[in-house]
């Protein structure tokens, strides 16, 4: 079983490009920047420590630019943005392949 801290680090730092302040892979802009939203002080502390640990690990050459911010109201995207992977499977697969390659190159154990 993975505790909250382990789950948090695994989910928030291993699947996104933390050194690009302007987006994720082919998705560019404010809505795609790497950011962690917290709702409690405990979550903020966990996020800060996890970010610091990653920065100090030397895993990446570029600085970790993921922001840590207090959560604001969240709104669902419009209908045309829902179920993108179902409506655009080829584009989704191509985009997912880039993320999968990033994860493989940076997070899978090297033999």
The CATH number of residue 72's host domain is: 3.30.1060.10
pLDDT digits (tens, 9 = 90+) for 39-66: 899 989 998 998 898 889 888 888 999 9
Could you tell me the pTM of the whole model?
0.74
Among 29-33, 38-42, 58-62, 107-111, the least confident range: 107-111
Q: Which domain holds residue 29?
A: 4-107
Minimal CA–CA distance to 50: which of 62, 70, 66, 61?
Answer: 66
How many independent structural domains does the chain possess?
A: 1
What does the block give as tokens for 54? 């990653």
pLDDT of 110 higher than 70: no
């Amino acid at each position: 079983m993975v505790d909250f801290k382990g789950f948090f680090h695994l989910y928030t730092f291993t699947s996104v490009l933390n050194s690009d302040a302007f987006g994720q892979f082919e998705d560019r802009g404010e809505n795609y920047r790497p950011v962690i939203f917290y709702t409690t002080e405990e979550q903020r502390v966990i996020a800060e420590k996890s970010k610091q640990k990653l920065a100090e690990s030397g895993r990446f050459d570029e600085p970790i630019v993921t922001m840590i911010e207090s959560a604001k109201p969240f709104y669902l995207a419009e209908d045309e943005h829902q179920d993108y992977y179902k409506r655009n499977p080829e584009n989704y697969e191509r985009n997912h392949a880039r993320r999968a390659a990033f994860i493989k190159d940076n997070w899978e154990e090297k033999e």
